[in-house]
Chains A and B, each alone.
Chain A
Amino acid sequence: MKAHAAEGRLALQRCTACGNIQYPPRELCGVCLADTLEWRVTDDEPGEVLASTVLHHSHEPAFNGKLPIHVGLIRLDAGPTAIGFLTEACSAGTRVRVTAKLDYRGRAVLSAALAISKEVS
């Protein structure tokens, strides 16, 4: 997932045995327990914001200069739910497109932006 995120692509796991698409990544399928997983790679994934929060407090000093931070729980149309950064205007019910990149520590992170701007353009 990290390697794909480094190229700006979002990778979700797909089970070749039962077709389940899952996130967070695991070493086997959370539904049928098979370990025959492949990466399903896209530029972005459509989804809908289920809930959102605005963080004013962080346990990591690295985030302190960036507060407040908008975060949401997003239901991907592909199936799983994911926590991701939100652009400010995203609240529950908002249609979004979710992308991946590497953060300052080299971790794959997801961000959701309004779907409409991309669909119109």
Chain B
Amino acid sequence: MNDYGDVVVCAPVTVPYVRRSDKGAAWWLGSALRRLLEASGLAKRQVDGLCLSSFTLAPDGPAPFVQYVGLSPRFLEFLPTGGACGIMALRRAARAVQCGDADVVACIAGDTNGAESFHDLVAQFSSFSRDCVWPYGAGGPNESFALLTEHAMRRTGATRADFGKLCVAQRQWAQRNPLALLRGELTLETYLAARPIAVPLHLLDCVMPCAGADGYLVMRRVHAEVLGLRYVRILATIERHNAFPDDPIQWRGGWAMDADALWQRASIGPDEIDLVETYDDYPVISMLQFEDLGFCAKDAGADFIRRNEFGPGGNFPHNTGGGQLSCGQAGAAGGFLGLVEAVRQLTGAAEGRGVDGARHALIGGFGMINYDRGICTAAAVLAA
């Protein structure tokens, strides 16, 4: 049973991101749930499934949260897998609905960002990272991604200007997205002049932590039609954790293990994709997704960036809401951002930035930079 039958995704919502918040994660997640109810017209008791993702909900977890917001679901998943959680939630919710374990699954992710919460999160991210990365200058994820970026630049010949091209294009999309936190004009010159953070990474390569939440609903098509909701279909999905553990440095992600299966199940190829939403906490990871998901050959990522145009009106619409690099990274919601944007695009809800005639979208997920590499990868192909 590889196909998802008549299961659909609808009601993309965002609780607008802010740089800092004194609200708790439960406020952000509960507010996303409220927006899902408002967008769908459903009553709370009709939501009988929940997929939840958050880093800052502690000491609460999924069970305290359902009591907090007064839900009584018969299907409950907690997915603390960062950048892969949006697609992982989609996969689990879709199977639950398809197999009858739930009728309506609310998928929500969100985090707060208080004065100390980002520091506390990265300092204690995992045992390996705490003991074997943090003592080396406490650079956090910037430090790990700097090592991966430096290696990828030598492998592909990518330059800072290549990564800057992606960042500038995303900012052009963000200027059309009122939900993006960073909407000021960005030129390649400004990008290149940014101060160094962890060479080769400079300030505008590094995602900005913020607070926020995103969500969507999964249900049967007939149910969405009764509710009058526009929806998208799920053509195929993949997920993989700790792929290629023997690679001494991460030069490919788990997508490379599963991309063939993804396209085979989707019955379309990369050429038929109208928009791509990569996971982009750092631009090097977008380049890895272009390579590993089959948009270009391995090691050809830099050439691919030079040969294509990624902004509004370009031939390869990419991160069409601005991506995390312009929207901000609201913790676990970063794993939902691309999926929610793709659903908006495919349902005609991406006001002011719609990709004309968009039928198919590819979404990538990349989560949990642990010690020397990102552990979780995922991808989905959605159809209008």
Residue numbers of A with Cβ under 8 A of B are 23-25, 50-60, 62-63, 66-67, 69, 71-73, 75, 81-85, 92, 103, 105, 107, 109
Q: Does B199 contact A (CB under 8 A)?
A: yes
Also in contact, A56 and B132, with CB within 8 A (given A81-B372, A83-B372): no
Q: Does B140 contact A (CB under 8 A)?
A: yes
CB–CB B140/A53 < 8 A? no
- Which of A23, A73, A103 touches B135 (beta carbons < 8 Å)? A103
In the bound complex, residues from chain A placing their C-beta under 8 Å from that of B139 are 53, 55, 57-59, 71
In the bound complex, residues from chain A placing their C-beta under 8 Å from that of B138 are 58-60, 62-63
Q: How far is the CB of B143 from chain A (nearest CB, A)?
A: 6
Q: Does B236 contact A (CB under 8 A)?
A: no
With A and B bound together, what is the CA distance between A50 and B138 in angstroms?
Answer: 20
Complex A-B: 20 CB contacts under 8 Å: A24-B131, A24-B132, A50-B249, A51-B147, A51-B150, A53-B150, A53-B199, A55-B143, A55-B197, A57-B197, A58-B139, A63-B138, A66-B137, A71-B137, A73-B147, A73-B372, A75-B248, A81-B372, A83-B136, A85-B136
Also in contact, A92 and B119, with CB within 8 A (given A53-B200, A73-B372): no
Q: How far is the CB of B380 from chain A (nearest CB, A)?
A: 30
With A and B bound together, what is the CA distance between A19 and B138 in angstroms?
Answer: 32
Q: How far is the CB of A68 from chain B (nearest CB, A)?
A: 8
CB–CB B135/A53 < 8 A? no
CB–CB B147/A53 < 8 A? yes
| Besides A24-B132, A59-B140, 12 new A-B residue pairs in contact (Cβ under 8 A), listed by A number | A24-B127, A50-B151, A50-B249, A52-B150, A53-B199, A56-B197, A56-B199, A71-B136, A72-B147, A84-B136, A92-B150, A92-B154
- Cβ proximity bits B120-147 to A, threshold 8 Å, 1 near / 0 not: 0011000110011101111110110011
With A and B bound together, what is the CA distance between A47 and B137 in angstroms?
Answer: 21
With A and B bound together, what is the CA distance between A85 and B135 in angstroms?
Answer: 10
Which of chain A's residues has its CB closest to B145's CB? Answer: A53
Interface of B: prevailing SS: mixed
With A and B bound together, what is the CA distance between A20 and B174 in angstroms?
Answer: 49
With A and B bound together, what is the CA distance between A63 and B137 in angstroms?
Answer: 6
Q: Which of B312-361 contact A (CB under 8 A)?
A: none
CB–CB B151/A51 < 8 A? yes
In the bound complex, residues from chain B placing their C-beta under 8 Å from that of A25 are 131
Q: Does B195 contact A (CB under 8 A)?
A: yes
In the bound complex, residues from chain A placing their C-beta under 8 Å from that of B9 are none
* Residue from the set A60, A66, A73, A103 with the largest chain B CB neighbour count within 10 Å: A73
With A and B bound together, what is the CA distance between A103 and B137 in angstroms?
Answer: 11
Q: Does B381 contact A (CB under 8 A)?
A: no
In the bound complex, residues from chain B placing their C-beta under 8 Å from that of A66 are 137
In the bound complex, residues from chain B placing their C-beta under 8 Å from that of A73 are 147, 151, 249, 372
Q: Does B371 contact A (CB under 8 A)?
A: yes
Which of chain B's residues has its CB closest to A104's CB? Answer: B135
CB–CB B198/A56 < 8 A? yes
Q: How far is the CB of B146 from chain A (nearest CB, A)?
A: 4
Which of chain A's residues has its CB closest to B153's CB? Answer: A51
In the bound complex, residues from chain B placing their C-beta under 8 Å from that of A24 are 127-128, 131-132, 371
Which of chain A's residues has its CB closest to B201's CB? Answer: A53
Q: How far is the CB of A120 from chain B (nearest CB, A)?
A: 27
In the bound complex, residues from chain A placing their C-beta under 8 Å from that of B249 are 50-51, 73, 81
CB–CB A57/B151 < 8 A? no
Q: Does B196 contact A (CB under 8 A)?
A: yes
With A and B bound together, what is the CA distance between A107 and B154 in angstroms?
Answer: 32
Q: Does B180 contact A (CB under 8 A)?
A: no
Which of chain A's residues has its CB closest to B138's CB? Answer: A60
